[in-house]
Amino acid sequence: MKVDTSVALKAGLIGAAIGLVVALLGRIPFLACIIGPLGWVVAVATGTLYVHYAATGGRKVEVGEGALGGALAGGIAGLTQSLVSGVLTLIFGPVRTAVALLGRGQPGAAALSAGMTFVGVIGGIVLGVILGAALGALGGVIYAAVKKS
């Protein structure tokens, strides 16, 4: 089982570009409830995209390779999407809260609020990479199995 890292990178970067758009559109309040679940779809689609690109030229892609390549590509897409979402959360969330709390003379609460948000964002980025890799592997396995039969 040999994973083509250039194909995984190509599929991951395409998924990352789509994840970037999903993360940006997810900041619009009335679209967030519709756009939010698309992050999962992007990760699964990135895994299937790996198998699609790896199978060009009539090459057979085994299920194990589809899982590993899909996980790699989905992890790249998940990292980008969660990183952009996290940065946007840090920009728009604790900055406003800290300014308001500092304006009321509560520097301790401002620091605590910003620190806890930062910890939450780091956790979200790690979780985004893990879920992106898992869902990418799922997409790679399903598409490789369907393409094989």
Q: Alpha helix locations (H) across the chain?
A: 5-25, 29-35, 38-54, 63-92, 94-103, 107-148
Arithmetic mean of pLDDT, 96-100:
78
pLDDT, tens digit, 9 for 90 and up, residues 37-73: 888 899 999 999 999 999 887 788 889 999 999 999 9
Amino acid in the structure at residue 124: G
pLDDT in tens, 11-30: 999 999 998 898 888 888 88
pTM of the complete model: 0.85
Region at 40 (left for phi over 0; alpha for psi -120 to 50; beta for the rest): alpha
pLDDT at 111 over 80: yes
